[in-house]
Structure 1
Amino acid sequence: MNVVNYRSFADDWERRATIRTRPRRLLEDDNKLIFPLCRQPLVLSATFLEQCPQWRDFVLVQSFYKFINDVVIFETEIVDKTARNIAKNRFSPPFPLACRYDAMTVVVDEDYHALVALDFLQQAVEMTGIQPLDLPGQIELSRALPAAQAQVPAHLHDAVELIGVAIAENTVTHDVAAFSKDDSVKSSIRGLMADHLFDEGRHAQFWTQLVRLYWQSANPHERDSIAQALPVFLEHYLTNDLQKDFDLHLIEHLEISADTRLALRHEVSALDFPITHQHPLIGNIMSLLRHSGVLQTPSVARALSSYLPAAGRSA
């Protein structure tokens, strides 16, 4: 595997990783929000605003708990696993030592992010007195990866995992950036997101480089096989079904009338985000695939043609 163009970020990590440079952040007891309103459509729905606005903070706190839970699953069960396997040379194909070293710094960062997230969860429970409801055991990526891997031969499972994790790491960077800039949210939580973003920007570049290295070494048959798995991955990764399930579960724990509960269920069930080129994360994903050289492969461009703006469908 040719690593001439691989740029290690080991020195950058030593100087700037948040695990080395950030003090513990403490949750403020102020009037700012614990979770952005724009990320929880339930509290902005007409029925909620008219019938039960007093439940806003409860819904936002529970949504914050879910966000924390999602972070922990993402960091420790998925990204950690992939990066650790690369670092320990248990990945196919194997990566050179410089890549493996950087992968281990990703493991350290991600486990630290999960630790900080759990610290904030504990602080939020203590401050609000609100216990978390039953939280999901999976995130969208938990379903998307095996669904995509099922489309390819076993020897390509690691490659599909690599590309899927790279997509997720690039989109989570976009997501966290939006969260960190919301002035309505408590300063410590925005700081938490900014810290996370600081590391994730480095991670996104790392995964992009690894996908590029892999793609350069893959033969045409392997590339074409993986191309057919990518739409399946996106279909499962970009769905909002798990969020709907959580919101419906949340509605059941509000002390409201049966009519209001039914109306809220209808409003949540009606929320849908079609997975087309206009989906807010598609541009980010296509940019990653383009920068890593994947999208320039004709079979990939054809497989993902419905996600590309008309002008880019001949790529």
Structure 2
Amino acid sequence: MSAADYHAIADDWERRATIRTRPRRLLEDDDKLIYPVCRQPLVLCATFLEHCPQWRDFVLVQSFYKFINDVVIFETEIVDKTARSIAKNHFSVPFPLACRVDAMTVVVDEDYHALVALDFLQQTVAMTGIQPLDPPREIELSRALPAAQAKVPAHLRDAVALIGVAIAENTVTHEVAAFAKDTSVKASIRGLMADHLFDEGRHAQFWTRLVRMYWHTASAEDRDSIAQVLPIFLTQYLTNDLQKNFDRHLIEHLDASDSVRSALRDEVTALAFPITRRHPLMDNILGFLQHSGLLQTPSVAQALDNYLPVSGRLT
């Protein structure tokens, strides 16, 4: 994909961005959930259901707080940083002005998403009286990007950031879509997710196009260097270690016996998706890699051979 083929999103942003078109959403005081049960398996554990079902709302509210914290880190510390660098022409990979203007719309959107998330945090604390526990200081992407960047030459670190952010933006879109459709959750929160999804769909296309432009011009040597670190990135990005740490932290705040807490910790530890082609996010990631052109590169296909479905694996 060349610069001449680039399709700008700025006009679409002017017409449809949620910061332009959506009113403030207010949390309802009803019997709907604040966070989907299906996204917090701790409350579905046999031990939890038997010994501490009265703590369900506490766990779900704290999980919502963690979700908000993750959104703020993701939007303001990672995506914003990369998009702002591109917009200000400080990125080591040069992009045309149209791309830089679009990158600034992403900056505005992501900071707005963080603002809305914090507003919902404030509303939830006021309504429930439940104070947030100390939030995690990092998310999976906070670890995955530096781990991959450390293994490539300095001139490729921005390119790795670009690809890592693009992978994340393409996967978070699908996660938010599932959240937005869960009718067990309060309507305002589903609306929040739908608004977020509305913008993130545009962002996913933007990042995919930028990666495709970069990959089209990258040298074979640079492509091969990046290919070798993609498994490192995916291992860190797809781990659930941080979620398990959070769940263990939650368990310590439950009014339960030591034996119940120990059983809960054991059940949480067992809740892990293997980081293989069967991981639930791999289809989305492979779809991005296909659309951006990376997967058509032999070294990328070789590096990710263990993640590919049998029909697409190298022999």
Normalised by the size of structure 1, how large is the TM-score? 0.99
Large movers: runs of 4+ above 4 Å = none
For residue 272 of structure 1, report the CA deviation from its aligned partner: 1.2
Question: Does 2:82 match 1:68?
Answer: no
Residue type matched to 2:62 in 1?
Answer: Q
Equivalent residue, structure 1, for 2:89 = 89
**d(CA) in 1 for partners of 2:314 and 2:144?**
27
Q: What whole-Å deviation, never above 9, does each CA across 1:132-165 have from its counterpart, x for those lacking one?
A: 0011000000000000001100000000000000
Equivalent residue, structure 2, for 1:183 = 183
5+ residue gaps, structure 2, are none
Question: Does 2:303 match 1:267?
Answer: no
Equivalent residue, structure 2, for 1:121 = 121
Equivalent residue, structure 1, for 2:80 = 80
Equivalent residue, structure 2, for 1:208 = 208
**d(CA) in 1 for partners of 2:270 and 2:208?**
35
**d(CA) in 2 for partners of 1:33 and 1:128?**
12
Residue type matched to 2:36 in 1?
Answer: P
Structure 1 residues 123-138: aligned runs within 5 Å: 123-138=123-138
Equivalent residue, structure 1, for 2:105 = 105
Equivalent residue, structure 2, for 1:230 = 230
Equivalent residue, structure 2, for 1:3 = 3
**d(CA) in 1 for partners of 2:232 and 2:139?**
16
Q: What whole-Å deviation, never above 9, does each CA across 1:155-200 have from its counterpart, x for those lacking one?
A: 0000000000000000000000000000000000000000000000
**d(CA) in 2 for partners of 1:42 and 1:71?**
21
For residue 94 of structure 1, report the CA deviation from its aligned partner: 1.1
For residue 270 of structure 1, report the CA deviation from its aligned partner: 1.5
Two-structure CA RMSD over aligned residues (Å)? 0.9
For residue 314 of structure 1, report the CA deviation from its aligned partner: 3.2
Equivalent residue, structure 2, for 1:20 = 20
Task: Give the count of matched residue pairs.
Answer: 315
For residue 259 of structure 1, report the CA deviation from its aligned partner: 1.2
Equivalent residue, structure 1, for 2:31 = 31
Aligned-pair identity (%)? 79
For residue 2 of structure 1, report the CA deviation from its aligned partner: 3.0
SS at match of 1:295: helix
Question: Does 2:149 match 1:155?
Answer: no
**d(CA) in 2 for partners of 1:158 and 1:313?**
29
Of stretches 81-90 and 275-284 in structure 1, the one that deviates more from structure 2 is 275-284
Q: What whole-Å deviation, never above 9, does each CA across 1:107-140 have from its counterpart, x for those lacking one?
A: 0000000000000000000000000001100000
Question: Does 2:171 match 1:171?
Answer: yes
Residue type matched to 2:28 in 1?
Answer: E
Residue type matched to 1:238 in 2?
Answer: L
**d(CA) in 1 for partners of 2:134 and 2:260?**
22
**d(CA) in 2 for partners of 1:102 and 1:192?**
23
SS at match of 2:5: coil
Residue type matched to 2:102 in 1?
Answer: D
**d(CA) in 2 for partners of 1:265 and 1:314?**
39
SS at match of 1:25: coil
**d(CA) in 2 for partners of 1:4 and 1:303?**
31
**d(CA) in 2 for partners of 1:82 and 1:177?**
24
Residue type matched to 1:137 in 2?
Answer: R
For residue 313 of structure 1, report the CA deviation from its aligned partner: 1.1
SS at match of 1:70: helix
**d(CA) in 2 for partners of 1:87 and 1:49?**
50
SS at match of 1:4: helix
SS at match of 2:130: coil
Equivalent residue, structure 1, for 2:308 = 308
SS at match of 2:296: coil
**d(CA) in 1 for partners of 2:111 and 2:181?**
24
5+ residue gaps, structure 1, are none
Equivalent residue, structure 2, for 1:143 = 143
Equivalent residue, structure 2, for 1:246 = 246
**d(CA) in 1 for partners of 2:235 and 2:281?**
12
Residue type matched to 2:85 in 1?
Answer: N
For residue 295 of structure 1, report the CA deviation from its aligned partner: 0.6
SS at match of 1:276: coil
Q: What whole-Å deviation, never above 9, does each CA across 1:72-116 have from its counterpart, x for those lacking one?
A: 000000000000000000001111000000000000000000000
Q: What whole-Å deviation, never above 9, does each CA across 1:219-251 have from its counterpart, x for those lacking one?
A: 000000000010000000000000000000000
SS at match of 2:294: coil
